[in-house]
Structure 1
């Protein structure tokens, strides 16, 4: 996967988390996210131990091939299967037992606090050969519960969004047309790291 500069990664994360406030108003009538489809993890031998790798697909508007659980140390990859939409996988380790649908109805500041900092962020424009690693390397090291989300605005132009992230120079991307984040349309799921 391609790595981007730390400044660009910071801008992407700030922009992604900043979009929560715009999208998380009163979602009392919001639908519960659809379950992600599941594919078993792949195991590869790396010397003295086996490493687990899973590749999760981003589609309009959901995640596919998400295992229910993976062992600690699993490396997650991301592949955007959309022909038109920019998608991302943002993984947060949760320290709460609250159901996912309840978490998503929390006020923006409370949701921000609950999610904390992302463990990994990967994004991929449509047609790009590989995902861009913005935060972390995709490895889920700590056991626990993780939520996977996409914060790209609905209807955002992929080129415009990527240009805004680059121009933000470590701040929140500005001036990107679009609606609420993809997670509000169902692009959110969870998995457990054992």
Structure 2
């Protein structure tokens, strides 16, 4: 469950981070995660499923950077409507050790979606709360975790197959650019190779896939997205422009054109 404006974990994940990118901003680097205060003994099915559900709302939304600015308030309102019951369940069912961090992430994210002002999600305090919730969810929920390392411009450790159902994908960025994983399921009627799907105009490409998970990570950091993936063909790609760092957006080609893309199977 992480969430800093273009990251893909449950609280203010991908969508807000994507909106920051659309506005020319960049996420603050999160501090290292503290030791997880939760264990498998703290697992509650409601909390674990809610963690996945929150990330799914963000990840399955249209990318804010693909929308005109005037459409963003409507997108955030739609997300907030879907997220409010999930936020309430997360607060009610969180393991005791991370309950305060869950409250921080929920309250800050709700305010950001309500106002459209994401500045509070860029603070070290918010990043620390996100990291604590992510670590606690991983410890308590027992999700299968796939760990991937991003370098310029390659994914290392990305397997050919991911498990179906609820799982976690953790991205560690050892490159110099900001990097992301966008995980999208190709629609059953799409037979094109992933390279050709990615070459389509944005609207047509988005119509060819279902967005499942997004996680964006600054250099020297790690972050986790929780997903619920059904069996099928998937594309993993990084769409961030070459040269994008915490200092600002780059002007080069998208990373997937430089090699950061792969077709995988969920089975």
**TM-score interval, normalised by the smaller of the two chains:** 0.5 to 0.7
| Cα distance in 2 for residues equivalent to 1:179 and 1:121 | 21
Between structures 1 and 2, the one with greater strand share: 1
- Report the count of equivalent residues: 144
Aligned to 1:81: 174
**Alignment pair present for 1:183 and 2:253:** no
Where 2:246 maps in the other structure, the secondary structure is helix
Q: Per-residue CA shift, 1:22-44, capped at 9, x if unaligned?
A: xxxxxxxxxxxxxxxxxxxxxx9
What is the SS of the residue equivalent to 1:160?
A: coil
Structure having the larger proportion of residues in helix: 2
CA positional deviation for 1:181: 1.0
CA–CA distance in structure 1, aligned partners of residues 228 and 170 of structure 2:
11
1:121/1:138 contact within 8 Å kept: no
Greater RCO between the two (CA within 8 Å, min separation 6)?
1
Measured after TM superposition, the shift of residue 45 of structure 1 is 10
Q: CA deviation at 1:9?
A: 3.9
Find the residue that maps to 1:106 and give its secondary structure.
Answer: coil
What secondary structure, in the 3-state scheme, does the structure 1 residue paired with 2:203 have? helix
- Separation in 1 of the partners of 2:216 and 2:18? 13
Instruction: Give 1:155's match in structure 2, choosing from 213, 222, 243.
Output: 243
TM-score, with structure 2 as normaliser: 0.47
The CA distance in 2 between the partners of 1:10 and 1:182, in whole Å, is: 16
**Alignment partner, residue 111 of structure 1:** 205
Partner of 2:16: 8
| Shift in Å, 1:66 | 1.4
- Give the alignment's TM-score, normalised by structure 1: 0.63
User: Are the aligned partners of 1:140 and 1:193 in contact in 2 as well (CA < 8 Å)?
Assistant: no
State the shift of 1:152 in Å: 1.0
Distance 1:88 1:10 in 2: 11
Unaligned runs of at least 5 residues, structure 2? 5-11, 22-62, 68-137
Cα deviation, 1:35-76, whole Å, max 9, x if unaligned, reads xxxxxxxxx9989xx742111111111211111112212321
Rounded Cα–Cα distance in structure 1 between residues aligned with 2:193 and 2:226: 24
Task: Say if 1:62 and 1:186, in contact at 8 Å, map to a contact too.
Answer: yes
**Partners of 1:101 and 1:177 in 2: CA distance:** 22
Larger Rg: 2
Runs of 4+ in 1 over 6 A off after TM superposition: 44-47
